[in-house]
Amino acid sequence: MTVFYFVRHGLTGHTGHKLTGWHPGVALTERGRAQAEAAAVRLAPAGIKALYASPIDRTRQTAEAIAAKTRLSVVTRDGLGEVHYGKWSNRSFKSLMRTRLWEQVHRWPSAARFPDGENLRETQARALAEVEILRETHRKDRICCVTHADVIKLVIAHYLGVHIDLFQRIAVDPGSISIVTLGERGPLVNTVNLVPEIAT
């Protein structure tokens, strides 16, 4: 069986204010770096054999903190990347709330396509295809994947048998760890949204 530790990146200056998407150059804040460090400390004794990350700056920064504690190299995988929000990327939530698409994204997300971007069904399919590739590569290992909130929610929703339209009911906070085991008898969602305590 393969045990996946899905880690959401730490806080950035955009978190809660802007939909960053794939916009480059958005780094972790001081608290975000502390969250990454706390996740790294929690994962250090877990026996992780490989460390993967979305290619986006904030996830790579978070993964590098984990790499320092686990002595692993970070391997980037596009399949773990953020939702392609298209023209919604790098826009404030306040401005997006005034669009016609906003209500559909929250009422019927599986049917919504982001302008010049993906829909969530495509994101989920992409992320799950990546997870299955990594499962085949690491049939008996514990591995860590550092990625984004919506990606983690969509993956967990699939393995819980939850429809995409309900995926936002799953909480995935910055710096949190969620654990999923994939074995011959099927998936097991062990932990969702474990937030390690930040050292003071």
pLDDT digits (tens, 9 = 90+) for 108-121: 999 999 999 999 99
Q: Residue 184 corresponds to which tokens in the numbers above?
A: 């011959």
What does the pLDDT read at residue 200?
Answer: 64
Could you report the per-residue pLDDT of 30-44, keeping only the tens digit for each?
A: 999 999 999 999 999
Least reliable range by pLDDT among 69-73, 102-106, 144-148, 155-159? 102-106
pLDDT, mean over the chain: 96
Quick one: pLDDT at residue 199?
72
pLDDT category of residue 97 using cuts at 50, 70 and 90: very high
| 3-class state of residue 89 by DSSP | coil
Distances (CA, A) of 70 to 137, 140, 181: 19, 18, 20
Name 8's Cβ contacts closer than 8 Å, sequence gap at least 6: 146, 147, 148, 149, 152, 172, 173, 174, 175, 176
The span from the CA of 97 to the CA of 92, in Å, is 9
% of the chain surpassing 70 pLDDT: 100
Domains recognised in the chain with CATH numbers: 2-194 (3.40.50.1240)
The candidate with the shortest Cα–Cα distance to 110, out of 91, 124, 100, is 124
Q: What is the per-residue pLDDT across 54-68, written as a single tens digit (0 to 9) for each?
A: 999 999 999 999 999
The pTM assigned to this predicted structure is 0.96
